[in-house]
Structure 1
């Protein structure tokens, strides 16, 4: 299965260094509740930004790579 490099991932999703939770949920294809469950499990690190929370684009890319790796294991 093909993987996007970090640069390709950021360009494809038009991301800045910090990503708001709504956008992160859309990219990760999960709802808010599942997103916060994943954050509690350590898949996402929440970055305080005033009264809001963000994640890094790099963190989203790492999650993407983990999903690709899991899919590759299941296919074999």
Structure 2
């Protein structure tokens, strides 16, 4: 049982340390994105603000634009 107990402890610590990335859509977004979304919240009805905030951050997280690596951009420009 010691092996399973140690494994369970390590998994639990890992979930506590990194679990927000699984539940918080803005966890790996730049802080500026979350701040900008927060600036929009006064235009949203108070009872819906948290739901709308999470939806917007989820959409941004899903469709975030990452700069292509320089090697990939150069090869695409050659075509």
Q: Which has the larger radius of gyration?
A: 2
Instruction: Choose between structure 1 and 2: higher helix proportion.
Output: 2
* Fold agreement, TM-score > 0.5: no
* Larger RCO (CA within 8 A; separation ≥ 6): 1
TM-score normalised over the length of structure 1 = 0.35
